[in-house]
Amino acid sequence: MIRIVTTCLSVLLVCAGFDGARAQSLGSIYTSTAPKDCRQIGKPSDLDGGTTRVCQGKDGLVVLIAEDDLREIVSVGRSRKQAAEEPAANVWFAPFNSSETIVEWRSSGTKPFAIIQRWHIADGGDLDRQGRPNTKGMLVVTRLPPGPVCHVAYVDAIANPTANELARKAADDFARGFTCGKDQVKIIGTRGRAVELATMR
């Protein structure tokens, strides 16, 4: 009986060790999408005033950022062409917007499965002294290959004091099992003004 109990405890400890190692393997690495660190595609005059740049990512992936009419899209792929064909390349927020130049790659070991990026969404109902809209911060979680690249979750950066932690947990919990085109983008935490602006149609 003692031997059986000892064996069961040993198995449980080993399983717990595997689970702990698996949890510990989750982490973040960072890359830049600043224009100086990327390759510009074409000239602004060729793109109706917009710009497109391709930036080096992780694990052989590249980040595609296209801006037109003061609105951006961000997508990821093995190549610029593939990134441009992903669902994420067709998601435009209605208000003027821009993404920050630091991309957080959420990874299991060395394999990234999601990116997290902070966006600034213009609030036409909140103007500065010059009459320009102030922006509201939002974190966007995007799933990565294998499978399509698309938005998984939004976290309002002002309404949630722990927005970064919430975004990482959303990436860890949902990105790998998220079905683009079928699953609804998740609103994580408190729904604030940035999320309201980003999801309005």
pTM of structure: 0.85
Contacts of 24 by beta carbon, 8 Å cutoff, 6+ apart: none
pLDDT for the residue 49: 62
CA–CA distance from 79 to each of 35, 91, 114, 176 (Å)? 18, 19, 17, 21
Q: Which pLDDT does position 53 carry in this prediction? A: 96
Q: What is the predicted pLDDT for the residue at 58?
A: 97
**Cα angle vertex 16, ends 10, 18, to 5°?**
105
Burial per residue of 120-155, b for 16 or more beta-carbon CB atoms within 10 angstroms, e otherwise: bbbbeeeeeeeeebebbbbbbbbbbbeeebbbbbbb
Q: CA angle 78-42-73, nearest 5°?
A: 55
* Residue 201: predicted pLDDT: 77
Q: List, as own/partner pairs, every contact residues 58-63 make where C-beta atoms lie below 8 angstroms and the sequence separation is at least 24, other chains included.
A: 58/29, 58/31, 58/105, 58/107, 58/112, 59/110, 59/111, 59/112, 61/112, 61/144, 61/145, 63/31, 63/33, 63/38, 63/103, 63/115
Integer angstrom CA distances of residue 178 from 62, 98, 185, 189: 21, 25, 9, 18
Query: What local confidence, expressed as pLDDT, does residue 67 receive?
Result: 94
Using 70 as the pLDDT threshold, list the residues of the chain that sit under it: 1-24, 43-49
Sheet of 62-68, strands arranged across: 38-41, 51-56, 62-68, 71-77
Question: What does the domain layout of the chain look like in residue ranges?
Answer: 27-199
Interval 20-53: pLDDT, tens: 444 459 999 999 999 999 999 976 544 456 899 9
Confirm if 190 and 159 have CB atoms less than 8 A apart: yes
DSSP3 helix / strand / coil % (the chain, rounded to 5): 30, 40, 30
